[in-house]
Chain A
Amino acid sequence: MIGFNTLDPYLPRPFSFLELDKETFSILVKIKGGGTELLSKVREGDELKVLGPLGKAFCPPEEGVLIAGGIGIAPVYYQSKYMKRGILFYGCKSKKDLVLIREFKKKGFVLRLITEDEGGFVTELVKKHTDELNDKQIFICGPIEMIKNVKNVLNKKQIENAYVYMEKRMGCGLGGCKSCAVKVTEGYKLICTEGPIFPLKEVKFD
């Protein structure tokens, strides 16, 4: 969680790590509202409140498939650092939004890229290459509509070994306020303490 030294914006913002080592970390910010706008103006020497790392740890597979839409590239990029090889399906609005391509290439990932203005949605790309998903662990991060569509594609092919990164506005980040609930097969789970990764089949999107 990244918090501000102001009362407006009031709430801290949950972010995934883009990179992390012993002394520093980085995040990827897309300006969407007041909080991200303020973050984009942070300069060296400014102070922010940082609380973390939060959530449940998981162990990425050596080889797997990453499916990202837009800013959803950030956590899968961090995950890719712990993987030996894989395939990245990645879609954005336009070419200039596709970031970190060089880094994924360097890592030896197979890249499947698409942009809305020149081809369509990442879901279509996934549909075209479903044979590449067999017997692999799949990790998805992106807008809810994209996740829902990918889930439909995977369901049709009876591919079940998929996980999703969930995101919601949070209050405390420590399980106290119960704000970041996600509907799952049985009731609700909290992203901050039980997530951010959930088995795709467990999450209810409607």
Chain B
Amino acid sequence: MIDLSVKLGALELKNPILLASGVWDIPYAKLIDFSKMGGVICKGVSLNPKEGNPPPRITETPCGVINSIGLENNGYENFESKVLPEIKSLGTQVFVNVFGESIEEFKVIASKINNVAGLELNISCPNVNKGGENFGKDPKTVFSITKAVCDVTDLPVIVKLSPSAPSIEQTAEAAKEGGATAVTVANTFSGLVIDIEKRGPLFERITGGLSGPAIKPLALYNVYKIKNSVDIPIIGSGGIANYKDVLEYLIIGATAVQLGSIIFNNPLAPIEILDNLSYWLEKNECENLRDLNKK
């Protein structure tokens, strides 16, 4: 039996495979045994309901997908009373992805949440007018939000960084200084899709967030940059489609990873990846993930 456990600060996960925010919901429990996952990150929750962006909200690009969802959610009250109890019953570590349009909103939501594995701060959504990547591009704001949240919660705080930041090393450092336990590297990349029939951008908000295998080399490079300059656990995220991609992230320095849009392509991917990862490690005489870097 391979020991797949990893540690984010003091928090131990049974394996490094997490499901990213915004790609799954409870009905996936029919397809995925969530209790086998290292953890799940809930769909971003804001204090008040957000209705999301006008359709179209998604389209396909070569080996990828670009979205302009706009953080549709029913607000914190509904999340706490209806959604969270169900997610907690899935038998895995639960991280709550928190979205605020102001530092105050982050603080208010963060102070209400307890009895979960941790929080993930969404300062990097590219599809909203207020907050999101507007916050995540600026190291000072990243520091202020992270610190404000860490001051009101005892939970581990993960900061989901924006790949649009002029220097992702600086925003990672700011998250660390603010008290973050780990950083997620990273959110989707801003991108543009043109509708030639419409003679203009496909999305009403012009840009969307690109994810999927198309961005994997870009996301890996960001992990590499942070690994070499900031001492903080990294959760790699971007374009993972199979166990080899997971290994790439772990080898370059991520402690854990998030699976995102691949579960659209293959809803069974999380379990397949986990099984194949164990199999590969065993075949390559690794007893645990630390052995990966012995060679």
Contact = CB atoms under 8 A, between A and B. Distances in A.
Chain A partners chain B: yes
Given A7-B63, A7-B213, A10-B65, A174 B25 contact: yes
Nearest to A190: B72
A183 to B, nearest CB: 7
A35 B59 CA distance: 12
A183 B54 contact: yes
Given A10-B63, A10-B212, A170 B267 contact: no
B28 interface: yes
Nearest to B29: A174
Interface in B221-268: 241, 261, 263-267
B25 A10 contact: no
A29 interface: no
Interface string B139-164: 00000000000000000000000000
B266 A171 contact: no
A176 B43 contact: yes
A15 B254 CA distance: 38
A172 to B, nearest CB: 5
B55 A7 contact: no
B264 A168 contact: no
B56 A171 contact: no
Contact of B58 (A49, A169, A175): A169
B188 interface: no
A11 B265 contact: yes
A181 to B, nearest CB: 5
A4 B58 CA distance: 18
A34 to B, nearest CB: 8
A170 B55 CA distance: 11
DSSP class of B's interface residues: helix, strand, loop or mixed? loop
Interface residues of B, number: 34
Contact of A171 (B31, B43, B58): B58
A79 interface: no
Among A35, A168, A169, A177: residue with most chain B CB under 10 A: A177
A176 B63 contact: no
B65 A188 contact: no
Contacts of B54: 183
A26 B295 CA distance: 52
Contacts, number: 98
Given A12-B265, A49-B266, A176-B23, A170 B65 contact: no
B105 to A, nearest CB: 20
Interface string B62-93: 11110101001000000000000000000000
Contacts of B63: 7-8, 10
Nearest to B61: A10
A7 B264 CA distance: 11
A38 B182 CA distance: 42
A101 B213 CA distance: 43
A111 to B, nearest CB: 32
A45 interface: no
A3 interface: yes
A186 B172 CA distance: 40
B3 interface: no
Interface string A181-197: 11100011000010000
B59 A169 contact: yes
B52 interface: yes
A110 interface: no
Contacts of B241: 7
Contacts of A175: 25, 27
A176 B24 contact: yes
Given A51-B267, A178-B72, A188-B72, A169 B25 contact: no
A176 B22 contact: yes
A149 interface: no
A179 interface: yes
Among A170, A178, A183: residue with most chain B CB under 10 A: A178
8 contacts: A171-B23, A171-B67, A171-B264, A174-B27, A175-B25, A176-B22, A179-B67, A188-B51
